[in-house]
């Protein structure tokens, strides 16, 4: 999976009316601050592994809730919510399991978005 620099990718996503509509609310920010970045990062890794790493994820296209956890919002904001979005935004082929390296890149992007959102609310 090849993607731009994190900063460039976040700027590109921000130019999308749909992707830029996602934000963490006060409860999400509080949750992130309470749990800490390492716990949120672990949650992100777990969600990526469960929801989009498999070559053929269960319920692909609707497997990631829009709310309920800050990482879910980040997944939608960063177009990492399903294999279709990964294909459209990052040219990740469908039907191929993501490597651990790909998952690491996605988690890094999600955490960068979450960090921006947490700092935006302060």
pLDDT at 122: 57
Asked if 60 and 87 touch (Cβ cutoff 8 Å), the reply is no
pTM above 0.95, yes or no: no
- Please classify residue 12 by burial: count the beta carbons closer than 10 Å to its beta carbon, then call 0-12 exposed, 13-18 middle and 19+ buried: middle
Asked if 75 and 110 touch (Cβ cutoff 8 Å), the reply is yes
pLDDT at 60: 83
* Cα(65)–Cα(63) distance, integer angstroms: 7
Sign of torsion over alpha carbons 96, 100, 103, 105: negative
- The most distant pair of C-alpha atoms in the chain lies apart, rounded to whole Å, by 41
pLDDT in tens, 42-69: 999 999 999 999 999 988 878 888 888 9
Q: For residue 39, what is the DSSP state?
A: H
* Cα(81)–Cα(79) distance, integer angstroms: 6
Q: Would you give the end-to-end CA distance of the chain in angstroms?
A: 33
Res. 15: pLDDT tops 80: yes
pLDDT in tens, 66-108: 888 999 999 999 999 999 999 999 999 999 999 999 999 999 9
Q: Which residues of 69-89 are buried (b: 16+ CB within 10 A; e: fewer)?
A: bbbbbbbbbbbbbbbebbeeb
């Amino acid at each position: 999976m090849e993607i731009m620099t994190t900063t460039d990718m976040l700027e590109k996503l921000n130019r999308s009316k749909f992707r830029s509509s996602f934000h963490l609310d006060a409860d999400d920010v509080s949750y992130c601050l309470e749990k800490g970045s390492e716990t949120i990062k672990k949650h992100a890794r777990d969600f990526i592994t469960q929801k989009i790493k498999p070559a053929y994820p269960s319920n692909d296209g609707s497997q990631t809730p829009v709310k309920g956890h800050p990482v879910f919002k980040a997944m939608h904001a960063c177009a990492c919510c399903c294999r279709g979005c990964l294909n459209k935004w990052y040219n990740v082929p469908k039907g191929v399991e993501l490597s651990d390296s790909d998952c690491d890149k996605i988690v890094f992007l999600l955490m960068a978005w979450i960090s921006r959102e947490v700092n935006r609310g302060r």
